[in-house]
Amino acid sequence: MAEVNFFLKEPKKVKGESLIYLFLSYNNKRLKYSTGEKINPDYWNFENQRAKETKKFPEYPEFNVRLKSLESKGNTAYRRLLNDGLEPTNELLKKELDKTIRFADSKKDDLFSFIDKYVEDSKSLKAKGTIKAYNTTLGKLKDFRTSIKRNFSFEDIDLEFYNSFVSYLTKANYSQNTIGKHIKILKTFLNEATDRGINKTIEYKKRKFKRPVEEPDKIYLSVEELGRIYNLDLKKDKQLEGVRDLFIIGCFTGLRFSDFSELKKENIIDGNKIKMRTSKTNEIVIIPLHRYVREIISKYNGEIPQALSNPKMNLNLKHLGTLAKINDLVEVSITKGGKLVKNTVKKSSLICTHTARRSFATNLYLAGIPSITIMKITGHRTEKSFLRYISISQEENADNLLNHPFFK
């Protein structure tokens, strides 16, 4: 059975109105859904979860009828999934509610209104980094609208639009991969609108409406280089020591920054494994602990070092690379503003939080551990996506093959 309740987002708000959330409880789970309705907390009956019957809020009869309708739609969404033979989940229930609540009154061609609402409603379902990326792409679309001095709707999203938008981002000096991310997210918005029957234009599904991709210059840190970082004497700089220790945990667990920065004491199982649900894929991973990781956890009395923000971590990691004398020269190239730019830089300047995950995958691969085994830890679903993390040169690949029985 499902149960619907209503709660104010800001129940103690002194002035103005608070948004009302619908909470749909089912099978020991709960969906938090924005109704779009607002009310002054002074006029809200917290016990009955309805507007107070008071002259100060004369529209209470119609307001409560709308809430009753929303309650009915919540229960109907749950029953509809069961009748269709589907196991209810937050994502499926949200889509059902969207069909009858969120977008019932939307104009069919109101692209920006749809995206605004989709991003808002995704906040309770998706990671903060995903929401930030959504908002960034939405901002670029709005900037593009301003630059061409005209609005555009779903019907305008065709190959001509694609070429103009890509050209606009290129002239703004964005890299190929940054442009590709915006196209990918735009297609996410369009796919969602299409699934809900709001968008009828499918030009964006054509082959030429593709996401520009440029294979990035990838580095990884070898076990020997990681050992140099691990053995740095940083007792006089506790913040840098914490950054180093957290990074080493990432390098020997393969977790993303969003996950290894959120590790808790309760994620440590039997003192020799980590078990946690990843934020990006929502999958449970179980990872055996490397000696370095066990030693770090022991040093912090079973806790995990406190994380800095990603940008601050990256600055500190480059400094750590310099201290560890990871100064090999690396040629990097990137297409920016439509032009290929090449530079030679020190390897230490390329170290970032994502280097941890790439180093883990590459070092295990070089150690001869099967891809499928590593993927169980990294959470990759296809070998193709996993192999993008392997950063070995032709020479390293040849050296690795020399140890294979075929070449003995």
Q: What is the pLDDT of residues 248-293, one digit of tens each?
A: 999 999 999 989 888 988 999 988 899 998 887 778 889 999 999 9
**Cβ neighbours of 318 (radius 10 Å):** 17
pLDDT for the residue numbered 105 = 47
Q: What is the pLDDT of residues 313-325, one digit of tens each?
A: 999 999 999 999 9
Q: How far apart are CA 221 and CA 352, in angstroms?
A: 11
Q: How far apart are CA 354 and CA 329, in angstroms?
A: 20
Task: List the beta bridge partners of residue 288.
Answer: 273
Domains of the chain: 2-102 (no CATH), 111-205 (1.10.150), 223-407 (1.10.443.10)
pTM above 0.85, yes or no: no
- What is the DSSP-derived secondary structure letter of residue 126? S
Using alpha carbons only, what angle is made at residue 236 by residues 234 and 237, rounded to the nearest 5 degrees?
A: 70
- Token pair 């909470």 in the structure block, residue: 23
Contact 250, 290 (CB under 8 A): no
CB within 8 Å of 1: residues ≥ 6 apart: 26
Of the CA atoms within 13 Å of residue 54, those in its CB half-sphere come to: 11
Q: What is the pLDDT of residues 328-370, one digit of tens each?
A: 988 877 777 777 878 888 999 999 999 999 999 999 988 888 8
Q: Has residue 141 got a pLDDT over 90?
A: yes
pLDDT for the residue numbered 6 = 96
